Amino acid sequence: MCGIVGILGRGEVAARLVAGLRRLEYRGYDSAGICLVGSDGFVRRRAEGKLANLEARLAAEPAHGASGIAHTRWATHGRPSEVNAHPHIVGDVAVVHNGIIENFRPLREALEAEGRVFTSETDTEVIAHLVARELERGHPPVAAVQAVLPQLHGAFALALLFRNEPDLLIGARLGAPLTVGFGDGEAYLGSDALALADLTQEVSYLEDGDWVILRRGAVEIRDRENRPVTRPRIRSGLSGALVEKGNYRHFMLKEIHEQPLVVAQTLQSYLKPLDGQVALPIPDARLENVGRVTIVACGTSFYAGMVARYWLERFARVAVDIDVASEFRYREPVLEPGGLALFISQSGETADTLAALRHARAEGQTIAAVVNVPTSSMAREADILLPTHAGPEIGVASTKAFTCQLAVLAALAANLARARGRLSREEEREIVTHLAEAPAAMNAALALDPAIAALAPLVAPARDVLYLGRGPDYPMALEGALKLKEISYIHAEGYAAGEMKHGPIALIDEAVPVIVLAPSGPLFEKTVSNMQEVRARGGKVILISDREGLAAAGDGCLATLEMPRTHPLIAPLVYAVPVQLLAYHVAVAKGTDVDQPRNLAKSVTVE
Ligand code: G6P
């Protein structure tokens, strides 16, 4: 986790480093720091808490220098505090780190046995000590870093700065992303290209095991065997404006409202509406023998995978296994030859999902990845890349990336069904027609924003909330509960409506709002029966359904929300809108930090 930026500049760089960190805050925001090197050596400023605290520190005590490194942290080893905040300085080296050094304990013990004194609880400080020791032994910085990198196990992206060499910056990556940026007489490092968007559009993505020596006007990349390598230099095409809130109060609200547009953009790459065909970038021949799909993801992306399982089973009649990435690798899953392993991730960098992807590859699976960041590790390692076109998602709680994932997954299910001979031309045309209707239906759901905001006071005082749904609305119930937990800190559970009678029904009383997602369709009657079981026990129900559903079952509910009538296929995309907006308005009512909820980070690059 964490975000890092480095600048070898031509003028003062402190403000530009902080601007880069601002774009990386999604990676963590429990403390931040910068270190510059100038004529007087190192100048470091660090602060616990949000980046604003570091900015205040810098305003009070400005830092000068034309080269520097900076870091925004999501704590792994050592609580969030100023002493644990990066950069860490030992002797003549300063380092910022994203990832985990798994062998830091034995390294630290050995260093302490030599009499070295540690000032923080972090794993990162061992890197600074190891490099400092090499420098003390008389090795120049490049040789010092070269000697230390093979000693580090785990995952890392690093940027290192040297007290006596203001013209040098060294970066390294293994299992965590790092981007090199090229400027006019300047050079940059960043956790992603977005961090560098205002500095440069010319970037190279380091490969795993690469390290890079940046000097003014010369950038040298080496691989893990220390051989000079060239990595493609590409135009990132990103602009800082992509990460502005516009007229919205929060990024999350902006991103919720962008959904019809970005889902339409995404569908454009996967559908040929005029021909009534789905058109994935995979020849049908490559899919026709797929007999099993294994889906792996984390968090909200996992719930997108759960929805996809219904579609894949129903349309393609293919066996589907699904697991969260952190469990998948450790349960010794049976992966038969010829299987398709499908990884879903907004960031494409989530460490658990990436490790699962590599495991599935080693087990001979064909790897497909539904990813929002096209330059991410997962995107680069997949055999079949299925990008979502949601654009940068900044709010920590995923919204638009989720519905774009659903759009791609629905198209994939239809494509697989066709390739396996399970879909007639007519059925395919019908699916395409319904998917193409999704953006307009989502727009209609967004128009309910004021009505959804009016529900927030019913939920905000609750200590516990239940969400119920059946079929593809069950993962939507899970997603609704997750959204509420993430940003409003209210305990919430999503349940398969029919499973509620096997336990959670004991929780029902008038203080526990029960939110029922029940679009009319084949499962409506059964869901409503479960809802009546709640009501019979004094439960307070908020029913989210369409006009027909509310006419049949809306009486006696605490509140109802009338949704547009949708085809069951696209209901998950459309019902995502009210669950997202409800969580948003409850969080606003509770005054929480919507875009940067406590303890979370957007991209979790540690296992
Ligand atoms: C974090 C985020 C979630 C996200 C999950 C998976 O926990 O807070 O919003 O769903 O990671 O991230 P990914 O980038 O792999 O989709």
Q: Which residue in 497, 488, 494, 475 sits closest to 300, CA to CA?
A: 475
- What residues make up the domain containing 580? 447-593
* 604 in a structural domain: no
d(Cα 530, Cα 500) in Å, to the nearest integer? 8
211, 243, 275 - which closes a domain: 243
Tokens of 420: 């396996």
- The number of distinct structural domains making up the chain is 3
| Mutation pick for ligand 1 pocket among 1, 251, 347, 357 (CB with most ligand atoms within 8 Å) | 347
Q: Which residue, judged by its Cα, is nearest atom 5 of ligand 1? A: 299
Residues 399 and 520 in one domain: no
* 598 in a structural domain: no
* 352 in a structural domain: yes
Residues 155 and 267 in one domain: no
* 438 in a structural domain: yes
Tokens of 227: 């051989």
Q: How confident is the model at residue 594 (pLDDT cuts 50, 70, 90)?
A: confident
In one letter, which amino acid is 300? T
Q: How confident is the model at residue 506 (pLDDT cuts 50, 70, 90)?
A: confident
pLDDT digits (tens, 9 = 90+) for 226-251: 999 999 998 887 766 666 777 899 99
Residues 401 and 452 in one domain: no
d(Cα 472, Cα 312) in Å, to the nearest integer? 12
SS3 of 312-369: the string is HHHHHCCEEEEEEHHHHHHHCCCCCCCCEEEEEECCCCCHHHHHHHHHHHHCCCEEEE
| Cβ neighbours around 14 below 10 Å, total | 22
* 467 in a structural domain: yes
Ligand 1, residue 298: give the atom nearest the CA: 6
pLDDT digits (tens, 9 = 90+) for 394-448: 888 999 999 999 999 999 999 999 999 999 999 999 999 999 999 999 999 999 9
Q: Which residue in 186, 193, 148 sits closest to 166, CA to CA?
A: 186
Cα dist from 289 to 286, 295, 518, whole Å: 7, 17, 36
Residues 415 and 454 in one domain: no
Q: Residue 265 C-alpha to ligand 1 middle, in angstroms? A: 22
Alpha-carbon dihedral angle through residues 533, 536, 537, 538, given to the nearest 10 degrees: 130
Ligand 1, residue 601: give the atom nearest the CA: 8
CATH of the domain at 229: 3.60.20.10
Is the CB of residue 299 below 6 angstroms from any atom belonging to ligand 1? yes
* 607 in a structural domain: no
Residue where the block lists tokens 């030599």:
114
Q: Residue 349 C-alpha to ligand 1 middle, in angstroms? A: 9
For 552, which DSSP code? H
Residues 231 and 118 in one domain: yes
For 222, which DSSP code? E
Q: Which stretches of 252-339 are assigned E, i.e. beta strand?
A: 271-272, 277-278, 292-297, 319-324
pLDDT digits (tens, 9 = 90+) for 476-504: 999 999 999 999 999 999 999 988 888 87
Residues 105 and 144 in one domain: yes
Report phi then psi at 251, rounded to 5.
-60, -40
Is the CB of residue 396 below 6 angstroms from any atom belonging to ligand 1? yes
| Cβ neighbours around 367 below 10 Å, total | 18
Is the CB of residue 301 below 6 angstroms from any atom belonging to ligand 1? yes
Is the CB of residue 354 below 6 angstroms from any atom belonging to ligand 1? no
Indicate if the alpha-carbon torsion angle 125, 130, 134, 136 is positive or negative.
positive
Mean pLDDT across 211-217:
92
SS3 of 97-136: the string is EEEEECCHHHHHHHHHHCCCCCCCCCCHHHHHHHHHHHHH
| Mutation pick for ligand 1 pocket among 191, 256, 408, 604 (CB with most ligand atoms within 8 Å) | 604
CATH of the domain at 561: 3.40.50.10490
pLDDT above 70 for 1? no
Residues 482 and 585 in one domain: yes
Tokens of 158: 């690093």
pLDDT digits (tens, 9 = 90+) for 535-592: 888 889 999 999 999 999 989 899 999 999 999 999 999 999 999 999 999 999 999 8
Is the CB of residue 324 below 6 angstroms from any atom belonging to ligand 1? no
Residues 535 and 403 in one domain: no
pLDDT digits (tens, 9 = 90+) for 142-192: 999 999 999 999 889 999 999 999 999 999 999 888 999 999 999 999 998
pLDDT digits (tens, 9 = 90+) for 298-351: 999 999 999 999 999 999 999 999 999 999 988 888 998 889 999 999 999 998
pLDDT digits (tens, 9 = 90+) for 74-117: 887 788 899 999 999 999 999 999 988 999 999 999 999 999 99
pLDDT above 90 for 505? no
Query: Is the N-terminal amide bond of 141 cis, ω within 30° of 0?
Result: no
Tokens of 603: 């991209």
In 5-99, where does DSSP find H-type helix?
14-24, 51-60
385, 415, 444 - which closes a domain: 444
pLDDT above 90 for 28? no
d(Cα 527, Cα 537) in Å, to the nearest integer? 16
Residue where the block lists tokens 């309910």:
448
Q: Residue 350 C-alpha to ligand 1 middle, in angstroms? A: 7
Is the CB of residue 355 below 6 angstroms from any atom belonging to ligand 1? no
Q: Which residue in 584, 509, 504, 571 sits closest to 544, CA to CA?
A: 571
CB 20 within 8 A of CB 5: yes
Residues 7 and 32 in one domain: yes
d(Cα 234, Cα 117) in Å, to the nearest integer? 43
pLDDT above 70 for 216? yes
Q: Which helix (H) or strand (E) holds 88?
A: strand 88-90
Residues 293 and 436 in one domain: yes
Whole-number pLDDT of residue 82: 92
Q: Which helix (H) or strand (E) holds 588?
A: helix 571-590
444, 473, 503 - which closes a domain: 444
Q: Which residue in 99, 74, 26 sits closest to 397, CA to CA?
A: 26
Whole-number pLDDT of residue 595: 83
Please identify every residue annotated as catalytic: 2, 602
Is the CB of residue 298 below 6 angstroms from any atom belonging to ligand 1? yes
CB 73 within 8 A of CB 97: no
d(Cα 344, Cα 37) in Å, to the nearest integer? 41
d(Cα 168, Cα 142) in Å, to the nearest integer? 9
Tokens of 565: 């009538």
d(Cα 146, Cα 172) in Å, to the nearest integer? 10
* 599 in a structural domain: no
Residues 452 and 570 in one domain: yes
| Mutation pick for ligand 1 pocket among 301, 598, 600 (CB with most ligand atoms within 8 Å) | 301
* 606 in a structural domain: no
Tokens of 109: 């013990």
Residues 309 and 435 in one domain: yes
